[in-house]
Amino acid sequence: MKIDKFIHKKPYLIAGPCSAESEQQLLETAHLIKEITDVFRAGIWKPRTKPNSFEGVGEKGLQWLQKVKKETGLKVLTEIATPQHVEKCLKAEIDMLWIGARTTVNPFYVQEIAEALKGVDIPVFVKNPIHPELGLWLGALERLNKAGIKQLAAIHRGFFSYEDSAFRNDPKWEMPIKLRELLPQIPIICDPSHIAGDREMIAEISQTAMDLNLNGLMIETHQNPKNAWSDAKQQITPKKLHQIMDDLVLRKTKTDDDFLKIKLKEFREKIDILDRKIVNILSDRKKIVEEIAFFKRQNKITIFQIERWFEILKFRKKDAVDFGMNEKMIAEFFELVHKYSILTQTKIMRNANGEKLENKRNG
């Protein structure tokens, strides 16, 4: 993928309200954050989950954004979901565009947008799809790049989850990390507002994003958040935005200090040794799993017994508490271990069936 770098600082900050509501609301908010913000955001076409919610002010919001641009000198950014939106934004000289989570999920929409953008040199931000499907996120970036868009960035806004969680959208930090691994040249902006769904959590999520070395933040900011027409719970005041940005700790990714380097190396060596031990223990565990499989095979016992699995989960969760570990993490770890244990046993059973068939055929 050929990418032109257009983000030159960390953290690159995009801020502004979830939705444009009036010209005055946009101008007031923009003036209060213009010193710290690189880009001003506001949605004018709002993809709402349910009908009868506020669906954005539409086209007239484009003129308000033009005014923000003129009065504050900020770059302006809005969400597009159709080729018509693209056309209108280009005409109104909107500086940058973003594709929302509900659009990234659909390759047809993304392709149409990509085609509408052919031959245009404008930065495009692609939000992750609603569900944790990395392929769709990568696919959308590739489609745009193929259409000639070189100023590309990703926005990590968290993922829908059925599980109970403190977040509106589960951050699943492993997803942006995987994206970074596969497309290292693409900058990643974290959107703590849509991850949190709650203004009290914005600071902490922003800090985590910086600690994971993401490139920037997109934070919904409104001059009167409690009365916002959309996402009222997660928007913050301009004053709070200043405070969060002031408090953000930017840690270095590398160090030139030899003493620190040696210390870091020591820690990493300890971790490497422990990780090797874990793999060794898992290998011992696998040997016992194989013995059990042969035993079950001989005695015609089924591989999977639900009571035993519940028992494992219960005891491991208790172990987690005893050792001061996160119960959910330990449960997830053993789900994975158990999944492979079942696979190992299935293979052994299948081989037994295979042998039986073979004997039948031969004799």
d(CA 300, CA 294): 10
Q: Which does 127 bind (CB under 5 to 8 A by kind): ligand PEP, Mn ion, none?
A: ligand PEP
Binding site for Mn ion (CB under 5 A): 18, 231
Measured from the CB of residue 191, what is the shortest distance to ligand PEP in angstroms?
6
CB 221 within 8 A of CB 15: yes
Measured from the CB of residue 311, what is the shortest distance to Mn ion in angstroms?
44
Tokens found for residue 141 = 């970036």
Q: At what angle do helices 23-33 and 238-247 cross, to 10 degrees?
A: 30
Measured from the CB of residue 18, what is the shortest distance to ligand PEP in angstroms?
5
Q: 25 or 145: whose CB is closer to Mn ion?
A: 25
Q: Which amino acid type is present at position 324? A: G
Measured from the CB of residue 27, what is the shortest distance to ligand PEP in angstroms?
19
CB 18 within 8 A of CB 56: no
Q: At what angle do helices 107-116 and 83-91 cross, to 10 degrees?
A: 30
Segment 119 to 158, residues that bind ligand PEP, using CB under 6 A: 127, 157
**Of 61, 20, 65, which is closest to residue 39 (Cα–Cα)?**
65
Q: Which amino acid type is present at position 332? A: E
Q: 112 or 231: whose CB is closer to Mn ion?
A: 231
Q: What x/- string results for residues 92 through 121 when contact with ligand PEP is judged by CB under 6 A?
A: --------xxx-------------------
Q: Which residue is nearest to Mn ion (CB)?
A: 18
Residue 327 vs residues 41, 155, 160, 174, 331: alpha-carbon distances, Å = 39, 30, 21, 19, 6
Among 69, 143, 194, 316, contact with ligand PEP (rule: CB under 6 A): 194
Q: Which does 139 bind (CB under 5 to 8 A by kind): Mn ion, ligand PEP, none?
A: none
Does residue 199 belong to the site contacting ligand PEP (CB under 6 A)?
Answer: no
